[in-house]
Structure 1
Amino acid sequence: MSDTVEYQCLKQKVVFITGGATGIGAAMVKAFLKQGAKVAFIDLNQEAASSLLAGYPPEQLWFRCVDVTDLNALKQAVAAAATHFGTLSVLINNVANDKRHLSNEVTVAEWQSCMHVNLDSAFFAAQAAYPFMQAQQAGSIINFSSINALTGQPNMAGYVTAKAGLIGMTKALAKDFGVDAIRVNAILPGWVATDRQLASWFTAEEQQRWLDAVSLKKFISPADVANLALFLASEQSALITGQAISIDAGRV
């Protein structure tokens, strides 16, 4: 893969990423730091976060351990990060939980937990970020949906529903926040070959099924997704808003 494009407009921009300690989130943290941005991220995995923090000063990288289902803690973290860095330019709602459940057996608590992590946190993080972006009349919010919202997936009704909801929420917030020059878009990744997926669901058999189904016979890496996030955060995508953009090697 070629080197990442350099976006001069991202230097010194303040980026807030949920679920930033591992996988796609960690790839985005590193990608934005490489661009010279200031990055704040939250996660529950303190060990992975500590590894990511090593080597970066607090003036460039900020972390807080937050459970995004605690909406007050989530909103406080957004405000604290914006206060720490002086502003907030980019919000990336990346955190997710793709736990499987049989639809005929899922409990009310399991369903609601799925919505709290995958959908509610994105809305209230955006709500918390809005005043800071409104004050500078600029901003980019990037929500992470999934191609599963378009294709469906067995035993994942809650996850698929939440990810479809994120597409609708993206379009709604793009309308509501556009008057303040805040852009809102959604990224819909296909099956990304993260360490977690490779250790759990993305088995050798599933990998072959994926290659049989896609147009480009390649796996998607976290860095591939991070590159799309960089573009949507940058001024090079200044007139792109309300869009749901798939990165899936031609799966859908």
Structure 2
Amino acid sequence: MSAQTTEFASFPSLVDRAVLITGGGSGIGAAIVQRLTGLGARVGFVDIDAAAGAALVAAIAQTAPRHLPVFRALDITDLGALKAGVAGVMEQTGPIRGLVNNAANDTRHAIGEVTPQSWRAALQVNLDHQFFAAQAVADAMKSAGGGAIVNMGSMSWRVGLDNLSAYVTAKSGIEGLTNGLARELGPDRIRVNCVTPGFVRTERQVKLWLTPELEREIHAGQCLPDLIEPEDVANLVAFLLADDSRMCTSGVFPVNGGWI
């Protein structure tokens, strides 16, 4: 049984700060949206699932937040739409000071099934948009005196999960992207870090992948006995966005229960 707590840290520096989350309509992204809204941030998020995004905003509205999240439905692989969506969010939230590149798709794919088109599509949905979202907010962060970007990676490429060759290629590349962005944006006090979750118990993961065999593998691999919840990832993301982590950049921060 998981040992759960409902009391987590507050981060005063995030109050009224504008933060954008990609893929924020469900799973880890939704937990990040909820956590940051609860901390008083001006949250904007984008997701391809319009119904899920609208439902999340409606649910958060019931909690009487300091700021209601701003949602834009768009496909992050359409880089023109992504750029326009970021601009649209900033019109309502003000200049973005925090970015969470969370959107991804881990649909399984055997090597023999991969085509040049599906390979490129996998990199688009799992890697390309992270760079272009960072590009879209960099000037606003610079003008504001700094900011923080959190790129969502994965431990999957480190443990060599199968049927995910394109996905793990993209996820490994995110760590290189993080280091490159951190070096180039650092002089403007823009910090860039990478979070690498293990198996997180989201609705999608439970529905599609969590078999008794996989759960046994997870428990055998992790040091800790509990399954990771979306909120566990959201808590680390909040810290990395806040000024509490002001000298943390170009880092890789695992949330994997010790499964290495």
In 1, distance between residues paired with 2:212 and 2:44? 35
Matches within 5 A, 1:1-252: 1-2=4-5, 3-54=7-58, 55=61, 60-252=68-260
In 2, distance between residues paired with 1:120 and 1:21? 20
Any idea what the Cα deviations from partners look like across 1:176-217, whole Å, max 9, x if unmatched? 000000000000000001011000111222111100111111
SS at match of 1:104: helix
Any idea what the Cα deviations from partners look like across 1:78-130, whole Å, max 9, x if unmatched? 11111222211100000000011111331011100000000001000000010
Q: TM-score, normalised by structure 2?
A: 0.94
- Deviation of 1:249 after TM superposition, in Å, equals 0.4
- Deviation of 1:146 after TM superposition, in Å, equals 0.1
Q: How many residues are matched?
A: 252
In 2, distance between residues paired with 1:60 and 1:128? 23
SS at match of 1:143: strand
- The residue identity in structure 2 corresponding to 1:181 is R
Native 8 Å contact 1:143 1:186 kept in 2: yes
- Deviation of 1:136 after TM superposition, in Å, equals 1.0
Native 8 Å contact 1:82 1:132 kept in 2: no
SS at match of 2:112: coil
In 2, distance between residues paired with 1:107 and 1:155? 14
In 2, distance between residues paired with 1:216 and 1:184? 28
**Which segment is superposed worse, 26-35 or 96-105?**
96-105
- The residue identity in structure 1 corresponding to 2:149 is I
SS at match of 1:99: coil
In 2, distance between residues paired with 1:59 and 1:242? 30
Q: TM-score, normalised by structure 1?
A: 0.97
- Runs of 4+ aligned residues of structure 1 deviating over 6 Å after TM superposition are none
In 1, distance between residues paired with 2:67 and 2:34? 15
Native 8 Å contact 1:189 1:248 kept in 2: yes
In 2, distance between residues paired with 1:190 and 1:47? 27
In 2, distance between residues paired with 1:52 and 1:155? 31
- Unaligned stretches of 5+ in structure 2? none
**Which segment is superposed worse, 197-206 or 123-132?**
197-206
In 2, distance between residues paired with 1:42 and 1:27? 14
Native 8 Å contact 2:43 2:67 kept in 1: no
Cα RMSD over matched residues?
Answer: 1.3
**Which segment is superposed worse, 95-104 or 56-65?**
56-65
Native 8 Å contact 1:193 1:219 kept in 2: yes
Any idea what the Cα deviations from partners look like across 1:122-170, whole Å, max 9, x if unmatched? 0000000101001012100000000012222111110000000000000
- The residue identity in structure 2 corresponding to 1:225 is V
- Unaligned stretches of 5+ in structure 1? none
- Deviation of 1:57 after TM superposition, in Å, equals 7.9
